[in-house]
Amino acid sequence: MNRGKRGRPFKLTNSCVQFLAVVRYLHGMPYRQLEGFARALNKLFDIPSGDYTALRRRILKVDVSPFRDLAGLDEPLTIAVDSTGVKVFKSGGWMERTYGKKKRCVKVHFAVNVRTKEVVAMEVTTDEVHDSRVADRLVEEAERNGKVNEVLGDGAYDTARMYERLKEKGIEAVIKPRRNSILETPSMARRYEVDLYRNLGHKKWAEVKGYGRRWSVETAYSTFKRTFGDNVMAKTLNNVVKELVAKVSLYNLLIRL
């Protein structure tokens, strides 16, 4: 790590920084407390301790890939998509100062493999971004990690554009039509689905289409929030994204254990 490096050499290895990052994210530990934790480790083991600034810089630079070791990619994927809000109240109110006085949050969008419960794609947005605007990017990212043949979503994804995009890719759409959906829609695929939903009713439609599998994404969000909490500690949107990516990487790792 220090070969050819200019300036002060590193004392902590990348693996040690990654371990401290895991401790921080699992326990919601601020950097000052993490510095004290590293000093306590220094007394028990022969590893150097880190200071607040160095730990923060190194942890934010940790290169994580949440989708590197995904399981079950050798067969077609059925993914469930949804979003959830994540609080930023610990970030000094930067969302309110930047985007308005009202209490705000960020939204994290997941595409979850319904069989393995792993997150195969994710996006982070501010809370005014509608789910349907992120759906294309979620599907495209999931396709880079495996062959997607079915997408499950709730009424937020019930748009003609969504149906047509999935049809172009040869992906079956299992999307619950909204209560006020009408047959006069430019998408023939959506028109067929709305008509089927009306004729069968919700319970029978859900049984025929296997819509109950969509709850895998709700389960993923529940597990994610129970493990990491429902808030982020970072103070800028860029660092919020880094924190959430790292947490998703840990989530996928824990799911595979």
**93 or 203, greater pLDDT:** 203
pLDDT, tens only, 195-218: 999 999 999 999 999 999 999 999
Share of the chain above pLDDT 70, in %: 94
pTM beyond cutoff 0.85: yes
Contact by Cβ (8 Å): 21, 62: yes
pLDDT, tens only, 118-150: 999 999 998 889 999 999 999 999 999 999 999
pLDDT, tens only, 214-245: 999 999 999 999 999 998 988 888 999 999 99
Q: What is the rounded distance in angstroms from the CA atom of residue 240 to the CA atom of residue 54? A: 19
Contact by Cβ (8 Å): 109, 125: yes
Q: What is the rounded distance in angstroms from the CA atom of residue 155 to the CA atom of residue 132? A: 10
Q: What is the rounded distance in angstroms from the CA atom of residue 26 to the CA atom of residue 36? A: 16
Q: Phi, psi (5° rounding) for residue 80?
A: -115, 135
Mean pLDDT across 35-40:
91
Q: What is the pLDDT of residue 64?
A: 86
Q: What average pLDDT does the structure give for the chain?
A: 90
**102 or 164, greater pLDDT:** 164
Mean pLDDT across 183-204:
93
